[in-house]
Structures are given as C-alpha cells and as structure tokens.
C-alpha cells in the first residue's frame, strides 16, 4: 500500500481526489490539508465522503507531516505550488501538481500570462507534462509531474493528433470551449454564484486566457482560445476548428481512431460528444469532421472537468509514476442520468 498526501484537499479537486482514492486498491490517504478548514472532519465539509473517511480531518499545512510519503498531490490555486515544491520534493517520493505552476517550459511566459515571475523556474524542466495518452513515456520515470487542466486536456486530445500527423495547419487554430461552474473552484465569487450562472451562458478571458500558451505548447500550434461558462456543475465541451494541410482530402476521424486505439479512457466515435456522457468518469469523448463546403476541419471533445480534466488525470499520472496499474481507481463509466 502506498501512502499519499493531498495538499489543498478541501477544494473541489482535492475532494475529487479523496473520492477517487477511496476506491483505489493501492493508495492510503495519510494526510489531507486544507488551511481554511483545518480541524474540521472531511465528512463535515463533504458529506459524500463521510462513509469512507469517518476519522479523517483536514489539517493545516506542515511540511514535516509529509516526510516519507510515497506521493503528494498538490491541489492548490496557481502560484502556491511553486512556493512549496523546492522543500517538499526533498521529503516525498513523487509529486503530482494539479495547478499550472510547472506546466510551461518557458519561464518568460509566466509574467505575460500569469502576471508574475516564476519563483522556482529552475525546476520547470524537471516536471513531466501529465497527459498520459500523449506523454506517457515522459511521465513513467518522472518524480515530478504537472497535470494539465480541463480546457487544455480537451483541446490537446482533440487537436494534437492532427498536428502530429500533419493533417492540419499549425496556425490559426480556433478552440471554443464551455465549462461547468465547478471549474471556478469552491471559493465563492460573484461570477460563480448560482444566481449569476443559472440561465446564463457567457464568454470570458477574451484573447488573453492564461491557458492559451499551455495549449500551444502541448498541441504544437497557434491557438485562438475562447472559454465560456455554462450553467452546469461539471463538464467541458470543446469545439475546435482548423484548416487542413496538404492537397489530400482529410479524414480526421481516422487520425483520432488510429492514435487512440487501445486507450481505455478515450472514446472516438461518429456521435457528437456530450458532457453528460462523461459525468463522473475519467473518459474523453471525441469526434471529428471535414466540411467540404467551407474547407474546415472540426473536432469536438467532452470530458468531466473534475475527473479527466483534473483529479482523475492526476491519479492516472500517480499510478504511472508509482508503477501501479494505470487505470486503478479510475471510473470508466459515468453517472447517468
């Protein structure tokens, strides 16, 4: 049994890690920190977890409690992981970070897109990019993994195969994606209140959303990204547009099928993806078309932003770096209706 810790366990992604680890045959949650909820039972904040964690309480962050753990997940807001990793990496076997602190290879991008210098830029090159279906060989031997977020996962799994195969032009790619309100996190804010989100659909982060350079790095293309907030709790639906490369008539669906053949968490089909079909699962649903009339290729991806878009992906990476079965603890089947 591997002993793990979760830093930031009181947030939505931390709670989702607790839910997934509850069904994992090889992981034991030894520490769950949540500074704003320190001393409170896990089941008090999240009654859905009470039966599995009757004696576990959130604690304040204290570095020494992690000494000797096999792996620690960092489920923190951007900017906090880079403050902890230089010390924490000396105390634990492996680290999987769910934030964007170590996803970008180029440190100069952080001031432009995140508004501040990176405080641990020397560690950027040591983190593997945690998207197993595309970077599995980099993840397995790594001690440090930066798991990409929901928007980036959806767009990258949709577009990277087409860029790699030369099927689409690597410039002028458009990603329109909608997310459920849980993507904003547990902390209340005016834009995520029920009265704001309900019966509304709005775009935000126009031209400057901070996940744009991460998409461009992972996909290998120039991206125009527009995110939207949808009136639902969970889910990402990404609709991506690109121009075909070369003279041959493209078959983007076959490209996706060929690359993802044998990938248990990827469903490629003719059907248009649905966020509801992925609810609670670690799966991504994909489809693609070539429109002869306009000359555009369209690729769609749906996933659960808290599972494959965050905590499920992090657990998939943890399984790889710990030498465990990659799918352990990860649900293939969603909740429906």
Active site residues: 150
Q: Name the region of 17 (left: φ>0; alpha: ψ -120 to 50; beta: rest).
A: alpha
Inter-CA distances, 14 with 140, 207, 329, Å: 23, 30, 15
Strand ranges, E, within the chain: 2-7, 27-33, 71-74, 94-97, 127-129, 144-146, 173-179, 202-203, 223-229, 236-242, 266-268, 284-291, 296-303
Structure tokens at 198: 């309900």
Contact 300, 241 (CB under 8 A): no
Question: What three-state secondary structure class fits 299?
Answer: strand
Signed CA dihedral, 178, 184, 186, 192: sign only: negative
Return d(Cα 215, Cα 217) in angstroms, integer: 5
Inter-CA distances, 251 with 31, 75, 289, Å: 48, 39, 7
Question: What three-state secondary structure class fits 126?
Answer: helix
Q: What phi and psi, each to the nearest 5 degrees, are found at residue 281?
A: -110, 170
Helix (H), strand (E) counts: the chain: 11, 13
């Amino acid at each position: 049994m591997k002993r793990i810790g979760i830093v930031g366990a009181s947030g939505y992604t931390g709670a989702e890690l607790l839910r997934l680890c509850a069904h994992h045959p090889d992981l034991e949650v030894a520490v769950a920190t949540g500074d704003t909820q320190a001393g409170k039972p896990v089941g008090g904040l999240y009654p859905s977890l009470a039966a599995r964690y009757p004696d576990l309480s959130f604690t304040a962050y204290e570095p020494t409690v992690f000494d000797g753990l096999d792996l620690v997940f960092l489920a923190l807001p951007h900017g906090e992981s880079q403050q902890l990793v230089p010390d924490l990496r000396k105390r634990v076997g492996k680290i999987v970070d769910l934030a964007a602190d170590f996803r970008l290879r180029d440190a100069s991008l952080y001031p432009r897109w995140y508004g501040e210098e990176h405080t641990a830029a020397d560690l950027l090159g040591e983190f593997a990019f945690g998207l197993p279906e595309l970077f599995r060989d980099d993840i397995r031997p790594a001690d440090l993994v930066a798991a990409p977020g929901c928007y980036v996962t959806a767009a990258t799994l949709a577009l990277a195969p087409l860029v790699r195969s030369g099927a689409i032009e690597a410039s002028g790619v458009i990603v329109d994606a909608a997310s459920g309100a849980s993507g904003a996190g547990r902390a209340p804010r005016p834009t995520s209140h029920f009265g704001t989100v309900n019966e509304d659909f709005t775009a935000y982060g126009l031209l400057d959303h901070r996940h744009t350079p991460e998409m461009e790095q992972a996909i290998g293309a120039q991206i125009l990204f527009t995110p939207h907030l949808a009136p639902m709790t969970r889910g990402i639906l990404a609709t991506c547009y690109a121009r075909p490369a070369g003279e041959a008539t493209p078959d983007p669906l076959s490209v996706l099928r060929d690359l993802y053949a044998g990938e248990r968490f990827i469903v490629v089909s003719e059907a248009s993806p649905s966020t509801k079909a992925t609810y609670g699962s670690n799966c991504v649903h994909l489809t693609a078309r070539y429109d002869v009339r306009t000359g555009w290729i369209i690729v769609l991806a749906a996933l659960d932003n808290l599972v494959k878009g965050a905590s499920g992906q992090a657990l998939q990476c943890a399984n790889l770096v710990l030498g465990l079965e990659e799918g352990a603890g990860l649900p293939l089947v969603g909740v429906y209706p």
